[in-house]
């Protein structure tokens, strides 16, 4: 007999999530996140992202159930046979991006991003950005609202809204996607190997200030940003077999 995994539960502040939390606690025994085998997250995709960041250092599997709007990263909400579902769940391992941003004053800020790192204009003027990949200049001057690097898990988020490609989870590539590019007019971005090192450099940074954003962390007035996949950090998500993340990302490419 397979031993049941112990669980901890966290929930967003939405009424639906709080109601689900109350019901779950009345039916199952729980532990603290520090001592449990699995962390259950009740909410939507935004709360799942928050939960991943909150417990990233623990490197414990997270099983989400949708009590939000879209729920792309969540399983269907049901409390029936929950221990069985968790024991039979399939695992998806994610690696975040590491951002190292240098401001115009020379300050250095570092942060991790599970979805994407984006560089965005701060004022009404378009951004001018120079793009390097593995130390080689690839775009001498991108005139745009911004540019981002997305992981496969984040490719269906902001990257998709910016008309970037959806990336299958096991593809070992990153999406480099411009945001409202003006010049080069026909440049749609690129797919990069996951071990690529990307660097953005601000052109006329004093006149055209830029913000760098790694998921929740924003750094303003940046001069340059370096991005690389952090293989030393892993995030493990659990999915019911019929709702695994790879299948969801694949299906998203055929959704009208």
Catalytic residue set: 45
CB 117 within 8 A of CB 252: no
C-alpha span between 221 and 54 (Å, rounded): 26
- Cα atoms in the 13 Å half-sphere on the side-chain side of 92: 24
- Say whether the peptide bond before residue 45 is cis (omega within 30 degrees of 0): no
85 φ/ψ angles, rounded to the nearest 5 degrees: -65, -45
Q: If you ran DSSP here, which 8-state letter would residue 34 be given?
A: T
Residues in the chain: 256
Task: Give the integer Cα–Cα distance in Å for 58 and 144.
Answer: 38
Q: How many CB atoms lie within 10 A of CB 223?
A: 19
Burial class (CB in 10 A: 0-12, 13-18, 19+), 251: exposed
User: Rounded to 5 degrees, what are φ and ψ at 147?
Assistant: -155, 155
Contact 99/212 with Cβ under 8 angstroms? yes
Number of other CB atoms surrounding residue 11 within 10 Å: 22
Categorise residue 120: left if φ over 0, alpha if ψ from -120 to 50, beta otherwise.
beta
């Amino acid at each position: 007999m397979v031993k049941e995994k112990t669980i901890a539960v966290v929930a967003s502040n939405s009424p639906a999530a709080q109601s689900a939390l109350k019901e779950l606690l009345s039916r199952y025994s729980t532990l603290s996140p520090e001592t449990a085998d699995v962390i259950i997250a009740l909410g939507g995709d935004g709360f799942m992202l928050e939960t991943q960041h909150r417990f990233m250092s623990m490197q414990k599997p997270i099983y989400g159930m949708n009590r939000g709007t879209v729920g792309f990263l969540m399983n269907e909400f049901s409390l029936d046979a929950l221990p069985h579902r968790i024991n039979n769940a399939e695992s998806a391992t994610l690696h975040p991006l590491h951002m190292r941003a240098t401001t115009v004053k020379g300050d250095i800020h570092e942060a991790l991003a599970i979805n994407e790192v984006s560089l965005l204009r701060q004022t009404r003027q378009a951004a001018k950005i120079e793009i390097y990949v593995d130390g080689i200049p690839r775009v001498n001057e991108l005139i745009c609202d911004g540019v981002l690097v997305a992981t496969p898990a984040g490719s269906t988020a902001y990257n998709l809204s910016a008309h970037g490609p959806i990336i299958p989870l096991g593809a070992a590539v990153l999406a480099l996607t411009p945001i409202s590019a003006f010049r080069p007019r026909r440049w749609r971005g690129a797919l990069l190997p996951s071990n690529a090192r990307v660097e953005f450099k601000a052109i006329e940074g004093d006149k055209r200030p830029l913000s760098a954003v790694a998921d929740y962390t924003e750094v303003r007035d940046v001069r340059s940003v370096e991005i690389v996949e952090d293989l030393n950090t892993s995030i493990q998500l659990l999915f019911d077999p019929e709702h695994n993340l790879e299948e969801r990302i694949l299906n998203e490419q055929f959704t009208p």
